[in-house]
């Protein structure tokens, strides 16, 4: 099973992707987690991306594309979270999956308003203290989502595998809606 999960920061992507990974026994490939781990380890990649992450800016496309291509080539199934965030990244993802003959089975879009996303990110800031959950970085990340990532959503929206789900409910409600959507598009049986 190959699933792409899209939605703004604070839409619950990471939480839902973790649940899907457990249900389908597939790895949760989250680019934000990969980058944060690299930064915590202090690897060359980590040192390069840490200031970018802290500001809530985007890591350059070429770097992200190389990273994800190498990772997806190794995996049969996955739930991909945090990539693609720009049109060049989306084009590179489609080309990579095409090359390796592993098309996506489903693209799930979690829809939440900026108000709900901001409130959730502020709550997470209080709990986890992530550097990029500062008020400025939160504003920057949501701005970049609207400016760059919505074009990615539009690209997949014209594709029949995209299902939009209301992400404003509880974790269980959203998970139920995702399950229903996967059944509707024939990816999952009852």
Residue 76, both tokens = 């049969």
User: Which residue in the set 141, 153, 177, 178 belongs to the binding site for ligand AMP (CB under 6 A)?
Assistant: 141
Tell me the closest approach of the beta carbon of residue 18 to ligand AMP, in angstroms.
13
| Residue (46 or 77) nearer to ligand AMP, CB | 46
Tokens 């680019």 — which residue?
A: 31
32 binds ligand AMP (CB under 6 A): yes
Our answer to whether residue 141 is catalytic in this structure is yes
Tell me the closest approach of the beta carbon of residue 189 to ligand AMP, in angstroms.
31
User: Which residue in the set 23, 45, 59, 125 belongs to the binding site for ligand AMP (CB under 6 A)?
Assistant: 59
Instruction: Give per-residue burial for 70-88: e unless 16+ CB within 10 Å, then b.
Output: ebbeeeeebbbbbbbbbee
16 binds ligand AMP (CB under 6 A): no
Tell me the window of 39-47, 50-58, 118-126, 153-161 that interacts with ligand AMP (CB under 6 A): 50-58
Our answer to whether residue 55 is catalytic in this structure is no
Contacting positions for ligand AMP (CB under 6 A) = 9, 31-32, 35, 52-53, 56-59, 64, 82-83, 85, 89, 132, 141
Catalytic residue annotation: 13, 85, 124, 130, 141
């Amino acid at each position: 099973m190959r699933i792409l999960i899209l939605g703004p920061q604070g839409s619950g992507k990471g939480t839902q992707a973790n649940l899907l990974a457990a249900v389908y026994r597939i790895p949760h490939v989250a680019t934000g987690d990969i980058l944060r781990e690299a930064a915590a380890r202090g690897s060359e990649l980590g040192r390069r991306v840490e200031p970018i992450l802290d500001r809530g800016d985007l890591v350059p496309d070429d770097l992200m594309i190389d990273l994800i291509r190498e990772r997806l080539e190794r995996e049969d199934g996955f739930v991909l979270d945090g990539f693609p965030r720009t049109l060049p990244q989306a084009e590179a993802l489609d080309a990579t999956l095409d090359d390796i003959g592993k098309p996506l089975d489903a693209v799930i879009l979690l829809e939440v308003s900026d108000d709900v996303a901001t409130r959730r990110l502020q709550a997470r800031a209080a709990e986890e203290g992530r550097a990029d959950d500062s008020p400025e970085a939160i504003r920057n990340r949501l701005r970049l989502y609207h400016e760059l990532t919505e074009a990615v959503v539009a690209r997949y929206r014209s594709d029949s595998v995209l299902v939009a789900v209301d992400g404003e409910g509880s974790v269980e409600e959203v998970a139920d809606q995702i399950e229903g959507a996967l059944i509707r598009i024939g990816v999952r049986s009852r």
